[in-house]
Amino acid sequence: MSLRIVVTVKYVPDATGDRHFADDLTVDRDDVDGLLSELDEYAVEQALQIAENADDAEVTVLTVGPEDAKDALRKALSMGADKAIHVEDDDLHGTDAIGTSLVLAKAIEKAGYDLVISGMASTDGTMGVVPALVAERLGVPQVTLLSEVSVEDGTVKGRRDGDAASEQLEASLPAVVSVTDQSGEARYPSFKGIMAAKKKPVESWDLSDLDIEAEEVGLDGAFTKVETATERPARTAGTIVKDEGEGGKQLAEFLASQKFI
């Protein structure tokens, strides 16, 4: 029986762009370029490695987001994933982590799965809680923040590295895992992979396909809310120290005044 791997990925604003909030205090995604979250690339890579070492496996990438989120799916498909699912609905605007976990869990159940792999966090929200929330909704074990992951005989195994020690963890399938940026460099899409991705299936679902009511998601259904936001002040000119024999002393005094030393 084929090992069904679902990788959750996110289309995020480019961290190098000029990011800001919209009038409703959600992230303005129209004014900045987006891309596949870098931390999710590690999840795609680990899924592909597991599939390559399995007798029979299929990798599905899943995202929740606007029309442009298909770009994240295409990147993952060009890396080597087999197919993709895009959940898009206007009522999803403003959905928080809890609502997102509901949508993902419903989509994962509909798609069918043995193993769900996520990145350790998204590079925009950086909350890192969605994999655990998804596992809770699915009612399956979670093995998160892995630096190393493998699947053997119906069991997923991995290593979690902490500040003082490393843990060896395992769980029976079906399960949810998340991987860190130490799990292995993600591959670059080849030209052949990019061309092949254009022919791979991408399914589009909305909330009605997942039996989710609009009131359960979006800004109205969110458990969390941004009340206020203030733009970061413009960067001011730095202090220039002319070294005329006292430069080191002046630098030390400046660092001490800022409590850096």
Q: What is the pLDDT along the chain (261 residues), one digit of tens a residue?
A: 689 999 999 998 877 667 777 778 777 777 678 889 999 999 999 999 999 999 899 999 999 999 999 999 999 999 999 999 999 999 999 999 999 999 999 999 999 999 999 999 988 888 899 999 999 999 999 999 999 999 999 999 999 998 899 999 999 999 999 999 999 999 999 999 999 999 999 999 999 999 999 999 998 899 988 888 888 788 887 777 777 777 888 888 888 988 888
In the prediction, which pLDDT does 242 show? Answer: 76
CA 95, CA 164: separation in Å to the nearest integer?
36
- Tokens 């969605």 found at: 130
In the prediction, which pLDDT does 69 show? Answer: 92
Cβ-Cβ contacts under 8 Å for 200 (sequence gap 6 or more): 77, 81, 82, 83, 84
In the prediction, which pLDDT does 154 show? Answer: 93
Per-residue HEC secondary structure of 15-39 comes to CCCCCCECCCCCECCCCCCEEECHH
